[in-house]
């Protein structure tokens, strides 16, 4: 497909992508849904108001004014219909409704540089999983030794915990260094700013219609329940986490901030990038999941992920951010569909706009680990920066940028980026 707009040949935001986001402009501060096409944002609220686009299941109710929740709630038939209509409207050989009207074109398109991005949905609940086998193995090896790296349940179910939706923030939001209790090795607990502030490279997804309380989303229906995907940085205070997490798990070490990218890549855009993933059967010595978690077809997504670090000194010197990790979403052992099926199998109700994240994604090589905890192996192998500095964990002024791109056969699907700068504790 070719757009009527002038797009770079290698764009990651062409007609094959069309990610959704919520934006505003200086002239119009109201929040509305847009789609990114190249370096422009197409205003879906404008198209809806002027009868150029409609979500079939919505009837006459507007769904593109405000957040994406109303659109997410409609389900896959409406998502597919709107996506198809957008591809037609933006196509070089499509109808003249948009392409042929200078008035509509001038009103509906805004340069990306002129918009402010907001959280794409009102997030009612946020759940974070622990779905990368290499990450779980690395962390387990550090704290329990290689013989007991994986806990007995890990290969049988997607481990997760309920996070804090109120502290999920959009890319570009500063991260205030958290404070809490820390326990020195040979002294009583102390209180103060975290000294071991970390990142977690993750892939997240938004739930669509969801399920009623008491019902479950089956593994066969889970894919149609996933609206789209975002990049996630689940910031973590490792020293606070270490002291508090037994016996009930993450709390203050995790709930102070979770950053997400503003553009939600539709599930349909990622279908061509599905790959088999690690075998979940005895062929590789793994236990077969219970029936409700058995997923046919390709489970994993081939999405190249990177972590970029820029220190304050680098920023002041004009030095480009350093790539400190190159990973891939295909390293996840438990798929998004398995995560959702397990989350709801007990009758827990998922709702439109709920956010679920994969947990840290790490590959087998040291340069593919998705956290500083692993990259520096608990601080024993500091990262050397171009500025001559080194990093075990994050310092105030450090800026972290996560990026993601899926690419195959000349098609590129971009996620944009999720970034945050660490500022001193208050």
Residues labelled as active-site residues = 135
Q: Where is the binding site, in residues?
A: 128, 130, 144, 200, 202, 234, 241, 245, 254, 258, 360
Tokens 């002027």 map to which residue? 50
Identify whether 247 is preceded by a cis peptide bond (ω within 30 of 0). Answer: yes
Q: For residues 26 and 101, give the distance between their C-alpha atoms in angstroms, rounded to a whole number.
A: 24
The set of residues, in sequence order, having a beta carbon less than 8 Å from that of 17 and lying 6+ positions away, is 36, 265, 266, 269, 412, 413, 414
Q: Are 236 and 312 in contact (CB under 8 A)?
A: no
Nearest to 254 by CA among 136, 126, 120: 126
Task: Kindly compute the dihedral angle of the four CA atoms of residues 88, 94, 96, 97, in this order, to the nearest 10 degrees.
Answer: -10
Per DSSP, helices labelled H in 91-210 are 96-99, 102-108, 133-144
Rg (Cα) of the chain, in Å, rounded? 22
Q: For residues 277 and 232, give the distance between their C-alpha atoms in angstroms, rounded to a whole number.
A: 21
Burial of 53 (0-12, 13-18, 19+ CB in 10 A): buried
Q: Where is the binding site for Ca(2+), in residues?
A: 128, 200, 202, 234
The set of residues, in sequence order, having a beta carbon less than 8 Å from that of 205 and lying 6+ positions away, is 226, 227, 228, 229, 230, 267, 336, 340, 355, 356, 357
Q: For residues 89 and 266, give the distance between their C-alpha atoms in angstroms, rounded to a whole number.
A: 18
Q: For residues 92 and 181, give the distance between their C-alpha atoms in angstroms, rounded to a whole number.
A: 59
Q: Are 18 and 37 in contact (CB under 8 A)?
A: yes
Q: How many C-alpha atoms does 309 have within 13 Å on its Cβ side? A: 26
For 258-398, where are the E strands, in sequence order?
258-260, 265-266, 274-275, 300-301, 304-310, 322-328, 355-357, 383-384, 390-391
Q: Are 126 and 357 in contact (CB under 8 A)?
A: yes
Identify the DSSP state of 225: H
């Amino acid at each position: 497909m070719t757009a009527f707009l002038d797009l770079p040949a290698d764009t990651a935001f062409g007609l094959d992508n069309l990610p959704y986001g919520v934006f505003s402009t200086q002239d119009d501060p109201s929040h509305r849904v847009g789609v990114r096409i190249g370096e422009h944002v197409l205003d879906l609220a404008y198209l809806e108001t002027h009868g150029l686009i409609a979500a079939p299941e919505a009837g006459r109710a507007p769904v593109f004014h405000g957040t994406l929740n109303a659109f997410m709630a409609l389900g896959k038939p409406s998502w597919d219909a709107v996506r198809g209509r957008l591809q037609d409207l933006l196509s070089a050989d499509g109808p003249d409704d948009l392409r042929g009207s200078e008035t509509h074109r001038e009103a509906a398109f805004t340069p990306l540089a002129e918009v402010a991005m907001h959280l794409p949905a009102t997030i009612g609940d946020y759940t974070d999983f622990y779905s990368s086998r290499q990450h779980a193995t690395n962390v387990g090896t550090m704290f329990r030794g290689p013989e007991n790296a994986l806990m007995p349940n890990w290969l049988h179910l997607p481990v997760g915990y309920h996070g804090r939706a109120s502290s999920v923030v959009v890319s570009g939001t500063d991260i205030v260094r958290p404070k809490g209790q820390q326990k020195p090795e040979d002294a009583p607990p102390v209180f103060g700013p975290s000294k071991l502030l970390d990142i977690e490279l993750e892939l997240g997804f938004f739930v669509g219609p969801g399920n009623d309380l008491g019902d479950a989303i089956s593994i066969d229906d889970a894919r149609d329940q996933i609206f789209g995907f975002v990049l996630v940085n689940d910031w973590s205070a490792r020293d606070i986490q270490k002291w508090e997490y037994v016996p009930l798990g993450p709390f203050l070490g995790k709930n102070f901030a979770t950053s997400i990218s503003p553009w939600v890549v539709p599930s349909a855009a990622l279908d061509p990038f599905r790959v088999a993933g690690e075998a979940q059967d005895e062929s590789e010595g793994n236990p077969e999941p219970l029936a409700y978690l058995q997923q046919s077809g390709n489970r994993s997504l081939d999405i190249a992920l990177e972590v970029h670090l820029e220190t304050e000194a680098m920023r002041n010197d004009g030095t480009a951010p350093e790539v400190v990790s190159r990973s891939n979403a295909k390293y996840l052992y438990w798929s998004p569909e398995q995560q959702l099926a397990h989350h709801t199998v007990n009758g827990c109700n998922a709702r439109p706009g709920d956010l679920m994240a994969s947990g840290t994604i790490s590959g087998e090589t040291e340069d593919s680990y998705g956290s500083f905890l692993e990259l520096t192996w608990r601080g024993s192998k500091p990262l050397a920066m171009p500025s001559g500095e080194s990093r075990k964990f994050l310092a105030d002024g450090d800026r972290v940028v996560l990026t993601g791109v899926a690419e195959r056969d000349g098609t590129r699907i971009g996620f944009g980026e999720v970034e945050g700068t660490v500022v001193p504790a208050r």
